Amino acid sequence: MSEKSRAQGLIGLAITVFAGALVFGAISARADATLTFQLTNASGYALTELHVSPSFADNWGGDVLEHKVLFDGEAAEVKIAGGETTCVYDLRFTAEDGSMLEDVGIDLCSQKSYTLDP
């Protein structure tokens, strides 16, 4: 094999490896991305918890309010870690009196905001 052919082969291999790394990096970055949406509480109650899970999941995720209270009339930015890989979520709200409300099949990728009404 000539030096020129060998060099071209190595350059081609380097380009393939580099392109693969870029694609893998983009996939990894997307999987680690955070989905953010604006939550407005117009329920008439103070919210003490919000559990979010992809609609296809069997279990609820952790409290994304992180034990903070969202009072009636307030809004907050909610972040779902790894949320860019899924768009449709189920939401479970808990009010300070212990009552719960669930809303299912919410597309948070296209909506980017959600208002909890009575």
Domain boundaries, the chain: 1-32, 33-116
Q: Which of 71, 43, 41, 39 is nearest to 52 (CA)?
A: 39
3-state secondary structure of 57: coil
Query: 118 pLDDT band (50/70/90 cuts)?
Result: confident
CA atoms within 13 A on the CB side of 30: 9
**Residue 73, φ and ψ in degrees, nearest 5:** 90, -10
pLDDT digits (tens, 9 = 90+) for 42-78: 999 999 999 999 999 999 999 999 989 999 999 999 9
Q: What is the pLDDT of residue 2?
A: 61
Q: What is the pLDDT of residue 9?
A: 59
Query: 103 pLDDT band (50/70/90 cuts)?
Result: very high
Distance of alpha carbon 77 from alpha carbon 113, whole angstroms: 9
Q: Which two tokens stand for residue 14?
A: 């380097």
3-state secondary structure of 75: strand
Q: Which residues pair with 94 in a beta bridge?
A: 49, 100
The domain 33-116: what is its CATH number?
Answer: 2.60.40.2890
Q: What is the pLDDT of residue 1?
A: 61
List C-alpha distances in Å: 46 to 17, 60, 68, 71, 79: 53, 20, 10, 4, 19
